Amino acid sequence: MKFTINRSVFANQLNNVLRAISSKTTIPILTGVKIVVEDQQVILTGSNADITIQTTLSAENGKTALTIEEPGAIVLPARFFSEIIKKLPDQDVTIEVHDGFQAKISSGTAEFQINGQDANNYPHLPEIQSASTITAVADLLRDVVEQTRIAVSKQESRPILTGIHMRLADDQLVAVATDSHRLAQRKVTVPTNGQSYDVVIPGNSMTELARMIADVKGDIQIQIAENQVLFQFDNALFYSRLLEGMYPETSRLIPDTADTTIELEAGNFLAAIDRASLLSHQGHNNVVKLSLDPDTNTAKISGDSADVGNVEEDVSFEKLTGNKLEISFNPDYMSDALKSFGQASVLLSFTSPLRPFTLVPTEDQENFVQLITPVRTF
């Protein structure tokens, strides 16, 4: 095996594959990156058993400056190999395998020799036996993931909640995540071609996918099988396993009435929450309180720490209606929720001090909702 390629292009694709490679694995060969050299292309594969990423560098793409002298395959230690590629001195790099599984990496005046493994021992890619493909716009899919993944559970005690629940039907994608303390739900239009799917994809997988498609323009092809999902875009394949089990019914958790509502700018409120949390983070309970009084048309946020002191701030808002209310909540949950709205105007709706409350954008209330459970302080 021997090929020469543009170093920076190769390093970028290597970084994408590294997203799927973990240093902690029970299968030692999965700490490596699989390199397969064919007639006109180099294929890189990385996997951690949950996520598998494959990317292809083609000689037809002039940016790769790829020339292949001899086909072949090898598995090289991923992190070490990546660091070498990043720090090589020249614009191009030549990789050659000789004496079994010895790889020579040369660029300019630098030359490395590293030990590899037999590519035949690397696990095969998952098989997706799906006849239908769903097409989604990359930007839209990334937004859906970013707006819902904040509510994914970090607790392994309920594995199903560590994923994002995705339902595809009737030309609509509904994505939901909850950790029992908060919930995020986003609906978008996606042509489903008469197909319907109900799957739960690990939150970690979707986070890596969102990062990987940050610069992707155009469409992503999605194929769903019994226990795998495949996202195909540009020159990459992104496989993820699906979580097994039934996701809890969440629609009934979202209240459809409100006794008190406040409309405000997400960015301004986020800044106030961040200031209040400076003190709440010093306390043991990490709680801030929002006090709303439509009669006097005032809204205040406050926080205190027995060790440090307290903070109180008037909240600027556009509209306040309903009953007087005092409610306490985790400021980190509120901060995450507000960030998902950007600089939009947001409507907060409350029913009582101990019932979950919702945040929705004033412009698109039907398709995006964040829900937070308050904290009992008495």
What tens digit of pLDDT does each residue of 277-319 get? 988 888 778 899 999 999 999 999 998 877 888 899 999 999 9
Q: How far apart are CA 286 and CA 364, in angstroms?
A: 31
Closest CA to 146 of 361, 334, 341: 341
What is the per-residue pLDDT for 53? Answer: 97
**Token duo for residue 303:** 């926080």
DSSP annotation of 371: E
What is the per-residue pLDDT for 131? Answer: 64
Could you state, in chain order, the average pLDDT of each consecutive group of 10 residues for the chain (378 residues)?
97 96 89 96 95 96 94 97 97 93 96 96 86 90 96 94 97 96 97 93 96 93 93 96 95 93 96 91 86 96 85 95 96 96 94 96 92 90
Q: How far apart are CA 5 and CA 18, in angstroms?
A: 18
Query: Strand, helix or coil at 92?
Result: strand
User: Which residue is it, tokens 């992707």?
Assistant: 216
Are 343 and 265 in contact by the 8 Å Cβ rule? The answer is yes
What is the per-residue pLDDT for 307? Answer: 80
Q: How far apart are CA 232 and CA 55, in angstroms?
A: 10
Record: fold of 254-372? Proliferating Cell Nuclear Antigen (3.70.10)
Are 67 and 4 in contact by the 8 Å Cβ rule? The answer is yes
Record: fold of 134-251? DNA Polymerase III; Chain A, domain 2 (3.10.150)
What is the per-residue pLDDT for 29? Answer: 95
CATH of 2-121, one of 3.40.309.10, 1.10.3720.10, 3.30.70.270, 3.10.150.10: 3.10.150.10
Q: What are phi and psi of 63, to 5 degrees?
A: -65, -25
Q: In what order do the strands lie in the sheet with 325-329?
A: 309-314, 298-305, 288-293, 325-329
Residue extent(s) of CATH 3.70.10.10 domains in the chain: 254-372
Residue extent(s) of CATH 3.10.150.10 domains in the chain: 2-121, 134-251
What is the per-residue pLDDT for 343? Answer: 87
What is the per-residue pLDDT for 280? Answer: 85
Are 355 and 372 in contact by the 8 Å Cβ rule? The answer is no
What is the per-residue pLDDT for 23? Answer: 82
Q: How far apart are CA 239 and CA 55, in angstroms?
A: 11
What is the per-residue pLDDT for 378? Answer: 65
Q: Where are the alpha helices (DSSP H) in 4-75?
A: 7-18
- Tally of CB atoms within 10 A around 89: 10
**Token duo for residue 17:** 């594959």
